[in-house]
Amino acid sequence: LAKTTQPISMDSYEGQEVNITCSHNNIATNDYITWYQQFPSQGPRFIIQGYKTKVTNEVASLFIPADRKSSTLSLPRVSLSDTAVYYCLVLNTDKLIFGTGTRLQVFP
C-alpha cells in the first residue's frame, strides 16, 4: 500500500519559491502522484498531477525523479494567499488516503 510522508509544516515569505517534497517509497507502477491544496473550512482543491519527470501548469510545477519514490511540488513566488495545507497523494487500492499534509505559512 502506497503511503506518503511530507514535512508537517513550512514557513516562507512572499515572493519566494517554495518546494515541498513528498516521499512515497511503495508507489505502484501505474500510480500517479497528485497534490491538493486545502484552505481552512474548505474542501481540497486539485493542484497538479504527474507520473514522471516534470509537469507544469499555471499554478505549480511537479518534479518526479526516475525512481518515482518521491516528488516535489514547487510553488513559484508565493503570496499570502498560498497559506494552506498541501497534501501529496498516491492512489491506494481505489481510494485516496490523506496523510498529514504540509501546512505552509507565508509571511509578508
Q: Which of residues 70-89 bind another protein (CB under 8 A)?
A: 87
Given the rule CB under 8 A, which of 13-21, 30-38, 54-62, 65-73 is the region that contacts another protein? Answer: 30-38
Give the integer Cα–Cα distance in Å for 32 and 24: 11
The answer to whether residue 108 forms part of the interface with another protein (CB under 8 A) is no
The least CB distance from residue 63 to another protein, in Å, is: 18
Indicate which single residue of 18, 44, 73, 84 sits in contact with another protein (rule: CB under 8 A).
Answer: 44
Q: Please report which helix (H) or strand (E) contains residue 17, including its range.
A: none
How many C-beta atoms lie closer than 10 Å to residue 16's C-beta? Answer: 14
Q: Which positions touch another protein (CB under 8 A)?
A: 30-32, 34, 36, 41-46, 49, 87, 91, 94-101
